[in-house]
Amino acid sequence: MNYNNLKPNKMEIKVLGTGCPKCRTLEQHTKDAVAQLGLAANVSKVEDIVAIMNYGVMTTPALVIDEKVVVKGKVPSVNDIKTLLTKQ
């Protein structure tokens, strides 16, 4: 069995944004989606502009799941985030 392709038990989710209302809304929607799905996930907020740019994101807010940018420049609904999380 190839263990290199196995996902870690805990999903790493990052909300990229400088603290604007949309960024805070995305963070809350993400936490709500994780809770509703009962996922083992670490949700963190990245506010450092250089760190955000390192993801190639020029418009915030953005959502990163396991180091992959899945949303940028908009605030998806809780249900949309749940869909993104279950596809990972």
CATH of the domain at 64: 3.40.30.10
Q: Check if 3 is active-site.
A: no
Number of domains in the chain: 1
Q: What is the mean pLDDT of residues 51-56?
A: 96
Share of the chain above pLDDT 90, in %: 84
19: left (phi over 0), alpha (psi -120 to 50) or beta: left
Catalytic residue among 15, 23, 26, 64: 23
In a domain, 45, yes or no: yes
Range from 8-17, 34-43, 46-55 carrying the lowest mean pLDDT: 8-17
pTM over 0.75: yes
Q: What is the mean pLDDT of residues 12-22?
A: 95
Catalytic residue among 12, 19, 20, 77: 20
In a domain, 64, yes or no: yes
Give the residue numbers spanning the domain of 69.
Answer: 11-87
In a domain, 20, yes or no: yes
In a domain, 1, yes or no: no
Residue 86 reports pLDDT greater than 60? yes
Q: Check if 20 is active-site.
A: yes
In a domain, 3, yes or no: no
